[in-house]
Amino acid sequence: MSAVCYPRSAMADTIFTKIISGEIPSHRVYEDDLVYAFLDIGPLSRGHTLVIPKEAAETIDALSDESAAAIGRVLPRISRAVLKATGAAAYNILQNNGEDAHQEVLHVHFHIIPVFEKGAAEGAGLGIVWSPRDFNHEKGAALAAEIASLIESGS
């Protein structure tokens, strides 16, 4: 398998760089030129899997289109295998960006977290607190227009 080399930025190597290189062992479930996937060492449930780009971007907004596409292409396939192997019927895909968003390892990663019944011996999965607020359409329209314009201008 040929390795793809990315220009290194000033960011420090993380534990995931060492996992990709094999310096730190992992339970690999998938690998291609751009993507590596392995079992999380601190699982929220059985089958908790991490899918990472080989590109060492800290957060998803810093990730190349090429690596993002490569991850998007294999996420469904890896998710299907995790579901089949664990017998779970539901799962969450979690992707944290920034320390304030609970990102501990500063290398882009997608968690695939199977859901099991409450009290399951190996964990029930992701606990979510979801507190929706009222939506203001006037402010929402202005914000949507600003985001759309930034996307259009390529920022």
Which residues have a catalytic role annotated? 109
Residue 13 in contact with ligand 5GP, rule: CB under 6 A: no
Spell out, one character per residue from 92 to 111, where the chain touches ligand 5GP: x when CB under 6 A holds, - when not.
----x-----xxxx------
Residues facing residue 91 across a β-bridge = 114
Within 8 A by CB and 6+ apart from 51, the residues are 30, 35, 36, 37, 71, 74, 75, 78, 109, 110, 112
Residue 60 in contact with ligand 5GP, rule: CB under 6 A: no
Closest CB to ligand 5GP: residue number = 42
Closest to 51 (Cα-Cα) out of 25, 73, 76, 71: 71
Q: Which of 4, 6, 15, 79 is in the footprint of ligand 5GP by CB under 6 A?
A: 15
Dihedral class, residue 69 (left if φ above 0, else alpha if ψ from -120 to 50, else beta): alpha
Q: Choose the binding region for ligand 5GP from 34-42, 68-76, 117-125, 134-142 (rule: CB under 6 A).
A: 34-42
Q: Which of 17, 26, 45, 86 is in the footprint of ligand 5GP by CB under 6 A?
A: 26
Minimum CB distance to ligand 5GP smaller for 34 or for 106: 106
Q: Are strands 28-31 and 35-39 parallel, antiparallel or unpaired?
A: antiparallel
Closest to 88 (Cα-Cα) out of 48, 130, 38, 119: 48
Residue ranges binding ligand 5GP (CB under 6 A): 15, 24, 26, 38-42, 50, 96, 102-105
